[in-house]
Amino acid sequence: MNQPAHIPIFNLFGETTAFPDVVHCEAVLDRAGLHGWVISPHRHTQMAQVFQISSGAARVTLDGAETRLEPGQYLYIPPQIVHGFEFTRGTEGTVLSIPSPVVARLGPKTPALSDWLGTHRHGALSEGADALLASIKGAYGSNGDFRAQRLVSLTHALLAVLADESTAAMPSPRDPNRQMQRLDALISEHLAEGWSARDYASTLHVTTGHLNRVVRGAAGMSLTAYLETAVMTEACRLIAFTRLPVAEVGYRLGYADPPYFSRRFRLRMGETPSAYRARVSGERTGE
């Protein structure tokens, strides 16, 4: 199976043109049906999506891991997650595509909300959430001076309901894990910039030692190891889903010395980048 030179970045599935609306709403059939019901792995850098299935099903890959989307369920995918679909022919449902600035305006901000919005989510769609999705579809097909405002408001309400219903307990601002949630958001934002532990601590207005203790208590590893794990997770995505040379993957993630990147990857993953690529490629193609 030929791999692209980079993970495809789409605005709306195969489209790379400017985003067509403040929020985009369409039927699964409208897009997946044109692609033989298969959407190859790709990611969006500036867009989140909500998928809802009313009939049929879909096999979904999220960063290489598989799950299944059944009738009555939804899937929320934040930016940067590599995802692909194999829909059952004739599947019916809705795809809601939300530009990152619209997602970012949902507030007031809390650590729990930021954590929810930054992680892919999968679950049953409640009657309330389903009603909001129906209202979004109605507003999308309407006209009027305040159509955009209606779409944004309803979309914010949908995201808030999904987050509220899928989160057992929202951490309070005094929850000790709030710094971990803020750290994770910074890592996602600055992953390819080679930030050091000191950079993250400074941005969070704490000492490196304090942040190291927070990470060790929450994740059972040092701050340095935690940051490297995040980098290596992205390295695995790039190696598995692109044809980028291993050295280029390392450069993109802040490693100026390719041999050192390969050594660190092998230490973390238990195999060389080339061996990892060959193994994952073989698993995906069934070889």
Q: Is the pLDDT of residue 132 over 80?
A: yes
Query: What percentage of residues in the chain have a pLDDT greater than 70?
Result: 87
pLDDT given at position 1: 42
pLDDT given at position 286: 55
Can the peptide bond before residue 108 be classed as cis, meaning omega within 30 degrees of 0? yes
Select the more confidently predicted residue: 74 or 115: 74
pLDDT band with cut points at 50, 70 and 90 for residue 142 = very high
Tell me what the pLDDT averaged over the chain comes to: 86
Instruction: Work out the angle at residue 192's Cα, subtended by the Cα atoms of residues 2 and 279, and round it to the nearest 5 degrees.
Output: 35
Tell me whether residue 72 is exposed, middle or buried, using C-beta atoms within 10 angstroms of its C-beta: 0 to 12, 13 to 18, 19 or more: middle
pLDDT given at position 281: 77
What six digits make up the tokens of 264? 């660190």
Give the span between the Cα atoms of 180 and 134, in whole angstroms.
36
Stretch 116-123: mean pLDDT: 90
pLDDT given at position 94: 95
Q: pLDDT per residue over 163-194, tens digit each? A: 988 874 344 443 557 788 889 888 888 888 88
pLDDT given at position 287: 52
pLDDT given at position 170: 44
pLDDT given at position 283: 63
| Angle between helix 223-241 and helix 273-285 axes, rounded to 10 deg | 50
Stretch 254-283: mean pLDDT: 89
pLDDT given at position 171: 43
Give the span between the Cα atoms of 269 and 246, in whole angstroms.
14
pLDDT given at position 12: 57
> Can you state the percent helix, strand and coil of the chain, rounding each to 5?
50, 20, 30
Query: What percentage of residues in the chain have a pLDDT greater than 90?
Result: 50
Stretch 276-287: mean pLDDT: 73
Q: pLDDT per residue over 241-251, tens digit each? A: 888 999 999 99
pLDDT band with cut points at 50, 70 and 90 for residue 74 = very high
Q: pLDDT per residue over 2-20, tens digit each? A: 555 566 566 655 555 556 6
Give the span between the Cα atoms of 96 and 155, in whole angstroms.
9
Q: Is the pLDDT of residue 162 over 90?
A: yes
Stretch 138-150: mean pLDDT: 93
